[in-house]
């Protein structure tokens, strides 16, 4: 029974941090955003201590950075692919939560396709873009259906590079029932 309680507390903790991250992205003055985002990075369990930071969150796109640290590297001395996948999921989740309250939906499952051709030996920049019309379609679908599918691509690049890799995600999102 204790394990179940701890799991629920952990889930609530993660949700509260994500909600606060989204709120801070929307309401924090531009001058303070990097410092607050850095501080919140240390509270995010799945990206704890990686240096992952959301650098920009607009209406149609969101950008993030995964720094090149030896603790973020695999045995090939490149940023670990699993870290990039987690960062990509966080980017898309944060983007959706910015447009629709996190307590109304949840990612039930996902499929990923990572197309990696570059050597990840420098800081990585992640970018996800979505048109306002596509986001409106997602929200309307979630209001009408209990489960919807959402596909998006996170582009992964390095500073001063014209090339990019991609992380294609197909998310199965469920609508959460609110207690009346």
Banded pLDDT at 62 (limits 50, 70, 90): very high
Give the pLDDT score at 125: 96
Show the DSSP H helices in the chain as ranges.
2-27, 33-41, 81-99, 132-144
Q: What's the Cα-to-Cα distance from 178 to each of 103, 104, 136, 156, rounded to whole Å?
A: 9, 8, 21, 36
Query: Does 86 have pLDDT greater than 60?
Result: yes
Among 21-25, 118-122, 145-149, 163-167, whose mean pLDDT is lowest?
Answer: 21-25
Query: What mean pLDDT value characterizes the chain?
Result: 83
Q: Strand pairing partners for 112?
A: 169
């Amino acid at each position: 029974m204790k394990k179940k309680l701890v799991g629920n507390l952990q889930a609530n903790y993660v949700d509260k941090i994500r909600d606060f991250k989204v709120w801070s992205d929307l309401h924090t003055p531009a001058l303070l955003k990097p410092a607050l985002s850095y501080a919140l990075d240390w509270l995010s369990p799945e990206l704890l201590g990686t240096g992952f930071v959301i650098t920009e969150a607009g209406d149609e796109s969101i950008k993030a950075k995964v720094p090149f640290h030896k603790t973020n590297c695999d045995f090939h001395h490149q940023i670990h692919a699993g870290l990039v996948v987690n960062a990509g999921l966080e980017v898309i989740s944060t983007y959706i939560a910015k447009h629709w309250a996190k307590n109304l939906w949840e990612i039930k499952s996902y499929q990923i396709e990572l197309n990696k051709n570059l050597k990840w030996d420098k800081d990585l920049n992640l970018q996800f873009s979505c048109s306002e019309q596509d986001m409106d379609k997602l929200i309307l679908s979630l209001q009408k259906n209990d489960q919807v599918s959402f596909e998006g691509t996170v582009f992964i690049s390095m500073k001063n590079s014209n090339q990019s890799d991609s992380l294609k995600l197909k998310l199965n999102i469920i609508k959460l029932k609110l207690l009346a």
